[in-house]
Amino acid sequence: MNTPKELRYSEEHEWVQVEGEKVRIGISDFAQSELGDIVFVELPEVGDEITVNEPFGSVESVKTVSELYAPVSGKVVEINEELNDSPEFVNESPYEKAWMVVVELSDSSEVDKLMTAEQYEEMIKE
Amino acid sequence: MHKEDQPLIFELSTPGRVGYSLPEMDVSETDLSELLPEGFLREEEPELPEASELDIMRHYTALSKRNHGVDSGFYPLGSCTMKYNPKMNENVARFNGFAHLHPLQDESSVQGALELMYDLQEHLIEITGMDEVTLQPAAGAHGEWTGLMMIRAFHEANGDHNRTKVIVPDSAHGTNPASATVAGFETITVKSDENGLVDLKDLKKVVGEDTAALMLTNPNTLGLFEENILEMAEIVHGAGGKLYYDGANLNAVMSKARPGDMGFDVVHLNLHKTFTGPHGGGGPGSGPVGVKADLIPFLPKPIVTKQDGVYKFDYDRPQSIGRVKPFYGNFGINVRAYTYIRTMGPDGLKAVTEYAVLNANYMMRRLAEYYDLPFNRHCKHEFVLSGKRQKKLGVRTLDIAKRLLDFGYHPPTIYFPLNVEEAIMIEPTETESKETLDAFIDVMIQIAKEAEENPEVVQEAPHSTVVGRLDETTAARKPILRYQKAE
Ligand SMILES: Cc1ncc(COP(=O)(O)O)c(C=O)c1O
């Protein structure tokens, strides 16, 4: 299982990459392997506000539909439109091609509450 | 099993071949263009398949042999109550007086049908412990929506306009949050505790002045009885909310416990499940909704009433949420449910519940040695195993389900409820014999052993069906929904 060291992780298996005042968000390698083949990704719209721990979208796999829980709060400034046509990116490249949204943080201290790669690896071990 | 390829009906088509003969026309022919506006006239002939009656018969008979239904084998699909549908129901539904009615016939000429509807309403009132019932909704989810619209109308009639939230447990059936959303509510999830029941502390946290209702199925989708139901009712009622009972799981408590007595205000029933309407690729459903007295004014209209021995449709209901289905619901399914209730009688219905619960507990105990049992308590009509142990060996719940096909079984419900990892949800129903249950259990045990000793045979299953593993991913990502003729 791939868990890049430079990212932070939420309990709901989202990864967060800090880019100044903004963060880029996606789901972890572990999450995509648990979900199986992703067939549809539903994302918010640019300009939407998302709230920490609340759903901001969903991913549908052949098995199930799962909500995406916001790891931080803020305003959506970019979404990955390519996932509309290529949901398989989530399985093939969860940390690069399958980033989902870029969010302008409303409270940057929320990032510090997220897990480090080591902590996240510990959590998914069980 | 049939291995050979079955062509599509379109591929069996031969130009000019006909499989029908129509009688001489006995009315004068009129040009279509005189009857229909131009925009509605097609320019080309539709490309319908052309085949003889015998070709068509063989084609569909061959397809039907590939089907699986309760009449062909065990069907332990959790949360679906795939019990046997007695053929007596079919006979009664085909009585001329039922099958040949026209929905616009005068009431005086359909008194028998109205009597049946009235009596069915009365029976369902008694079975659920509610005060009045509508037979209109076409299935469970439609009943949920109807019930929630009534709850909404109730709050609004009380000037209570801020009740915008419906609470559902995390183990709820997907239709619950979906119906709440379609009815214009926001859904809030309550967590389950370590016993698989609604977490009362969490419930207390989420109820409030904005609570319109709590939706609950009891037993819940884990097959566990929500034993704190009276306390939950108190919490929700205390905050001014209503309690909605998803009666899809009534098979577990019928004639033993009544939602009305547990404190529920609105109930929907799935007559196509508990009361033996054919379902699962079969006929339509029926999802009657029962309510307590304070919600009666909001019921859909019409309701069948009885005055001086005469039955009639009562349309004089000014606060009604209106009609929720053309005409009077899926009448044919209601005839079947009525027949079932009258055939079984009160003691029969009680026995149904007892055997449904006994069968499920028997299977659960025999399987618990080989599969993980996340909630180790008595279950009601169904139980949920987890394929976690097999997953460690590289065998997923999906693989186990596919392997069951090799033995001629319809697999259980999988990956639901969502709060159990690798869930396998088994509902045997009361109509299966111990021999059938044992045979299925033995196969499940064999598969558990295969997962340890020979995992490929499970991972690559099914081996004996007409088609093997389907490419579900491509089917979902790039669906081809229309037949296209090869050029
Ligand atoms: C618990 C539960 N609720 C609601 C429903 C929805 O019923 P229907 O499929 O008739 O709309 C089901 C259906 O299986 C169910 O199991």
Q: Which of B291, B240, B295 is nearest to B266 (CA)?
A: B291
For residue A103, the number of C-alpha atoms closer than 13 Å in the C-beta half-sphere is: 30
pLDDT of residue B47: 87
DSSP string, B8-34: -TTTT--TT-----PPPP-S----HHH
**For the domain bounded by A8-112, which CATH number is listed?**
2.40.50.100
Q: What angle do CA B243, B244, B250 make, to 5 degrees?
A: 125
CB atoms within 10 A of CB B43: 4
Q: How far apart are CA B12 and CA B49, in angstroms?
A: 7
Dihedral over Cα of B291, B295, B297, B299: its sign: negative
State in Å: Cα B95 to ligand 1 middle: 29
- The rounded mean pLDDT for chain B is 94
Roughly how many angstroms between the first and final C-alpha of chain B, as a whole number?
Answer: 32
Q: How far apart are CA B106 and CA B466, in angstroms?
A: 51
On whether both B195 and B330 belong to a single domain, the answer is yes
Chain B CA closest to residue A67: B418
The C-alpha of A39 sits at a distance from chain B's nearest C-alpha, in angstroms, of 5
Ligand 1 and B285: CB distance under 6 A? yes
* Residue B61: inside a domain: no
On whether both B359 and B334 belong to a single domain, the answer is no
Ligand 1 and B413: CB distance under 6 A? no
* Residue B383: inside a domain: yes
CB contact under 8 A, B477 and A64: no
Indicate the pLDDT class of residue B485, thresholds 50, 70 and 90: confident
- Provide the token pair at B279: 């379902």
Q: What is the pLDDT of residues B274-331, one digit of tens each?
A: 999 988 766 689 999 999 999 999 999 999 999 999 999 999 999 999 999 999 999 9
The residue ranges of DSSP E strands in B110-265, in sequence order, are: 132-134, 165-169, 186-190, 211-216, 242-247
On whether both B334 and B385 belong to a single domain, the answer is no
For residue A62, give the nearest of B416, B418, B472 by CB distance.
Answer: B472
B/e letters for B231-243, b = 16+ CB within 10 Å, e = fewer, are ebbebbeebbbbb
pLDDT of residue B486: 74
- Provide the token pair at B375: 């909630």
Q: What is the pLDDT of residues A104-126, one digit of tens each?
A: 999 999 999 999 999 999 999 87
pLDDT of residue B20: 87
User: Can you give the CATH number for the domain in which B379 is found?
Assistant: 3.90.1150.10
For residue A88, give the nearest of B398, B414, B477 by CB distance.
Answer: B477
- Does ipTM come in above 0.85? no
* Residue B330: inside a domain: yes
The C-alpha of A59 sits at a distance from chain B's nearest C-alpha, in angstroms, of 13
pLDDT of residue B2: 41
- The residue to mutate among B75, B173, B221, B250, having the most atoms of ligand 1 within 8 angstroms of its beta carbon, is B173
Q: Whose CA is nearest to atom 13 of ligand 1?
A: B80
Residue where a domain stops, chosen among B343, B372, B403: B343
* Residue B152: inside a domain: yes
The whole domain housing B370 covers 352-473
What amino acid is encoded at A85 in this protein?
Answer: D
Burial of B350 (0-12, 13-18, 19+ CB in 10 A): middle
User: Can you give the CATH number for the domain in which B179 is found?
Assistant: 3.40.640.10
User: Is the CB of residue B305 less than 8 Å from the CB of residue B312?
Assistant: yes
Reduced to 3 states, what is the DSSP secondary structure of residue B164? coil
Q: How far apart are CA B402 and CA A16, in angstroms?
A: 37
Please tell me the pTM assigned to this model.
0.89
Instruction: Tell me what the mean pLDDT of segment B62-85 comes to.
Output: 93
Q: Whose CA is nearest to atom 5 of ligand 1?
A: B140
pLDDT of residue B155: 98
Q: What is the pLDDT of residues B124-137, one digit of tens each?
A: 999 999 999 999 99
Residue where a domain stops, chosen among B293, B316, B343: B343
Residue B1 pLDDT > 60: no
Question: If you ran DSSP here, which 8-state letter would residue B192 be given?
Answer: B
* Residue B149: inside a domain: yes
Roughly how many angstroms between the first and final C-alpha of chain A, as a whole number?
Answer: 13
* Residue B481: inside a domain: no
State in Å: Cα B173 to ligand 1 middle: 7
On whether both B376 and B334 belong to a single domain, the answer is no
* Distances from the Cα of B292 to the Cα of B264, B289, B295, B298, B389, angstroms: 8, 10, 6, 11, 46
* Residue B201: inside a domain: yes
Indicate the pLDDT class of residue A56, thresholds 50, 70 and 90: very high
Ligand 1 and B169: CB distance under 6 A? no
CB atoms within 10 A of CB B30: 8
* Residue B6: inside a domain: no
CB contact under 8 A, A64 and B473: no
Q: Which atom of ligand 1 is nearest to the CA of B79?
A: 16
Q: How far apart are CA B172 and CA B178, in angstroms?
A: 11
Instruction: Tell me what the mean pLDDT of segment A74-92 comes to.
Output: 96
On whether both B120 and B224 belong to a single domain, the answer is yes
- Provide the token pair at A3: 């868990």
Number of domains in chain B: 2
For residue B172, the number of C-alpha atoms closer than 13 Å in the C-beta half-sphere is: 26
Q: Which of B282, B287, B284, B283 is nearest to B248 (CA)?
A: B287
What amino acid is encoded at A103 in this protein?
Answer: V
User: Is the CB of residue B356 less than 8 Å from the CB of residue B219?
Assistant: no
Q: What angle do CA B165, B228, B150 make, to 5 degrees?
A: 35
pLDDT of residue B3: 43
Interface residue of A37, A92, A125 to substitute, partner B, most B CBs within 10 Å: A37
Residue B199 pLDDT > 90: yes
Q: Whose CA is nearest to atom 10 of ligand 1?
A: B140
On whether both B213 and B306 belong to a single domain, the answer is yes
Chain B residues within an 8 Å CB radius of A62: 472-473, 476
Angle between helices B434-453 and B397-405 (to 10 degrees): 120
B79 in the Ramachandran plot: left (φ > 0), alpha (ψ -120 to 50) or beta?
left
CB contact under 8 A, A39 and B477: yes
Strands A74-79 and A49-50 turn out to be antiparallel
Ligand 1 and B395: CB distance under 6 A? no
pLDDT of residue B84: 96
The C-alpha of A63 sits at a distance from chain B's nearest C-alpha, in angstroms, of 7
H or E element that contains B355: helix B331-367
On whether both B317 and B391 belong to a single domain, the answer is no
B338 in the Ramachandran plot: left (φ > 0), alpha (ψ -120 to 50) or beta?
alpha
Indicate the pLDDT class of residue B4, thresholds 50, 70 and 90: low
What percent of chain B shows pLDDT beyond 90?
86
Residue A21 pLDDT > 90: yes
Residues in B lying within 8 Å of A, measured between beta carbons: 398, 414-416, 418, 472-473, 476-477
Question: If you ran DSSP here, which 8-state letter would residue B71 be given?
Answer: T
Ligand 1 and B175: CB distance under 6 A? yes
Dihedral over Cα of B148, B149, B155, B160: its sign: positive
Residue where a domain stops, chosen among B343, B368, B387: B343
Question: If you ran DSSP here, which 8-state letter would residue B204 be given?
Answer: H
Q: What is the pLDDT of residues B402-415, one digit of tens each?
A: 999 999 999 999 99
For residue B235, the number of C-alpha atoms closer than 13 Å in the C-beta half-sphere is: 18
State in Å: Cα B10 to ligand 1 middle: 35
